[in-house]
């Protein structure tokens, strides 16, 4: 059975990744996964996905948040998973009768973290509160008054508050002020950009590097000039190229040596990674990791859609898809002076083109937008399993690359 998994990051108050909510589905037309008392296919979906993809690969050492229905909780399905890694989310429609309370109690004894999903005011008297570690409040579904009253009512109960569906900076600041501990939503994957904001000097230098390496007439001599006054950046380059990720047989001792070994195509990708990591030095690390996953995914799909000659361009399309968030400058302003393929620019500002279709395919998979994904794979002539396999391989690649950064 083909299995798909998507994930959404969950951040703490310092905007560091605390964990990922894992989203499962069992087929092209499914918005989630099926669950019934005697239906073992759901167990297969969970176990097969974790076996084939690898839980460690999915959560990268963080917590994995997984939704469980009443039937799955009563069947002790969470016990199949490592308690140190998995946070058990109890869906809002689960009735907390004695059987369920006993099942959740077993999970707590086994060391699982328990979260109550879509918490609302009427849940304040739920017996599950005594067993829960985290309550998740839907910031789109609850009013500002209700969000605040929940926070005030649960204060002092040794619970962590998680604000989900945080869509704007206002939502985030409000949740911070109310004492919420964790945050989840599109605000973090696409932070609000202030128009006209200037780029800091060091970030401007990194953008110049990105411009130079994508110039058809780029010169290694010119490139070296950007690194000469920056000892830290030069150190990062050598440390990065010496990492096992590149699989080089000989240790690299100089920039020139690295350039010779990698060649023009790989050096462009390598320097793009290093420059992007430097751009992200004051941003949530999920932004740079997301850039890496998208870059490798877009590149890997290129031969499957007959666009192999544009693999490097598609790599940059994915890589630059977060560049507005990394620089705090509107996308159109960031890319207007970069000598990159016109379709990359079109894709990045949301204009219809082949590159945009590839990028949106990956974005749909990230968001678990299965309906949108079905449309995109139809447009590109892809098989649905190819997207999942490509994304999973890219995720493993990105984790390794990010570690070397």
Rounded Cα distance between 188 and 29, Å, is: 28
DSSP string, 171-186: HHHHHHHHT--EEESH
Tokens of 308: 């192999």
From CA 69, how far away is CA 256, in angstroms rounded? 57
Centroid of chain to Cα 189: 7
Residues 367 and 20: beta-carbon distance below 8 Å: no
Distance CA 182, CA 178 (A): 12
- CA–centroid distance for 337 within its chain: 28
Report in angstroms the alpha-carbon separations of 202 from 149, 212, 327.
44, 15, 11
Look at strands 4-11 and 17-25 and give their pairing: antiparallel
Place of tokens 């890219």: 394
pLDDT at position 34 is 44
Contact between 215 and 206 (Cβ < 8 Å): no
Helix (H, G, I), strand (E, B) or coil at 198: coil
What is the pLDDT, as a whole number, of residue 30? 44
* Coil/strand/helix, residue 57: helix
pLDDT given for residue 40 in this prediction: 45
Residues 6+ apart with CB under 8 A from 194: 328
Contact between residue 10 and residue 162 where contact means Cβ atoms under 8 Å apart: yes
Four-CA torsion 284, 289, 294, 300, nearest 10 degrees: 180
Helices (H) and strands (E) in the chain, counts: 19, 8
Q: Which residues pair with 116 in a beta bridge?
A: 90, 135
Q: What is the pLDDT along the chain (405 residues), one digit of tens a residue?
A: 455 667 788 999 988 889 988 876 554 444 444 444 333 434 544 655 555 566 777 787 889 898 888 888 887 878 878 888 899 999 888 888 899 999 999 999 999 999 999 888 888 888 999 999 999 999 888 888 989 999 999 888 889 999 998 888 788 889 999 999 999 987 765 433 333 444 454 666 677 777 777 666 777 777 777 766 565 565 566 555 555 445 555 555 455 666 666 666 666 666 766 666 666 666 777 887 888 899 899 999 999 999 988 888 898 899 888 888 877 778 888 787 666 788 999 999 999 999 999 999 999 998 888 899 999 999 999 988 899 899 989 998 888 777 655
Q: What pLDDT is attached to residue 290?
A: 87
| Contact (Cβ atoms closer than 8 angstroms) between residue 87 and residue 65 | yes
* Residue that is written with structure tokens 């490798």 in the block: 296
The span from the CA of 211 to the CA of 318, in Å, is 16
Q: Quote the CA–CA distance of 354 and 269 in Å, as a whole number.
A: 21
Other residues' Cβ atoms within 10 Å of the Cβ of residue 23:
20
* H-helix or E-strand spanning residue 96: none
Residue 201's pLDDT is what? Answer: 46
Q: Quick count: other Cβ atoms within 10 Å of Cβ 381?
A: 9
- Domains of the chain as residue ranges with CATH: 4-189 (3.20.20.450), 201-404 (1.10.3210.10)
Across 157-304, the runs of DSSP E, i.e. the strands, are 160-164, 182-184
Which residues does 287 contact at the CB level (< 8 Å), separation at least 6?
189, 280, 322, 325, 326
Query: What pLDDT, on the 0 to 100 scale, is given for residue 107?
Result: 95
User: Which residues, in sequence order, are bridge partners of residue 380?
Assistant: none
Residue identified by tokens 């649960």 is: 154
CA 394 to CA 77: how far, in whole Å? 29
Residue 93 CA to residue 72 CA, distance in Å, equals 13
pLDDT at residue 259, rounded to an integer: 62
- CA 85 from chain center: how many Å? 17
Q: Give 118-171 as a DSSP string.
A: S--GGGGG-GGGGT-SEEEEETTTS-HHHHHHHHHHHTTSS-EEEEES--SHHH
**Do 389 and 276 form a contact (C-beta atoms < 8 A)?**
no
In this prediction, residue 167 carries a pLDDT of 82
Tell me, rounded to whole angstroms, the distance of Cα 42 from its chain centroid: 24
């Amino acid at each position: 059975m083909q299995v798909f998994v998507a994930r959404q990051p969950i951040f703490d108050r310092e905007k560091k990744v605390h964990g990922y909510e894992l989203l499962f589905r069992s087929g092209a037309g499914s918005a989630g996964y099926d669950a019934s008392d005697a239906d073992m296919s759901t167990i297969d979906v969970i176990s097969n996905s974790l076996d084939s993809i690898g839980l460690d690969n999915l959560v990268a050492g963080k917590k994995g948040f997984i939704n469980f229905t009443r039937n799955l909780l009563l069947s002790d399905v969470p016990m199949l998973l490592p308690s140190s890694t998995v946070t058990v989310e109890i869906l809002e429609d689960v009735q907390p009768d004695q059987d369920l309370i006993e099942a959740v109690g077993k999970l707590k004894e086994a060391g699982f973290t328990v979260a109550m999903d879509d918490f609302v005011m009427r849940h304040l008297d739920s017996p599950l509160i005594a067993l829960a570690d985290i309550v998740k409040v839907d910031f789109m579904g609850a009013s500002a008054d209700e969000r605040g009253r929940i926070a005030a009512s649960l204060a002092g109960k040794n619970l962590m508050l998680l604000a989900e569906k945080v869509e704007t900076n206002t939502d985030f600041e409000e949740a911070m002020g109310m004492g919420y501990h964790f945050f989840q939503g599109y605000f973090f994957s696409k932070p609000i950009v202030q128009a006209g904001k200037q780029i800091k000097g060091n970030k401007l230098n990194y953008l110049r590097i990105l411009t130079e390496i994508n110039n058809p007439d780029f010169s290694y001599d010119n490139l070296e000039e950007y690194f000469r006054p920056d000892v830290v950046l030069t150190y990062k380059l050598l440390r990065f190229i010496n990492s096992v990720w590149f699989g080089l047989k000989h240790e690299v001792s100089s920039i020139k040596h690295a350039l010779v070994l990698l060649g023009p195509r790989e050096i462009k990708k390598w320097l793009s990674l290093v420059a992007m990591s430097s751009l992200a030095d004051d941003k949530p690390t999920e932004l740079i990791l997301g850039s890496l996953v998208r870059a490798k995914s877009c590149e890997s799909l290129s031969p499957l859609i007959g666009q192999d000659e544009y693999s490097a361009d598609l790599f940059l399309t994915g890589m630059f898809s977060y560049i507005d968030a990394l620089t705090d400058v509107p996308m159109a302003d960031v890319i207007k002076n970069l000598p990159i393929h016109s379709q990359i620019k079109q894709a990045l500002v949301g204009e219809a083109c082949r590159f945009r279709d590839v990028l949106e395919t990956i974005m749909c998979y990230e968001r678990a937008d299965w309906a949108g994904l079905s449309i995109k794979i139809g447009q590109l002539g892809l098989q649905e399993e190819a997207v999942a396999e490509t994304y999973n391989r890219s995720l493993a690649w990105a984790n390794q690359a990010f570690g070397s950064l």
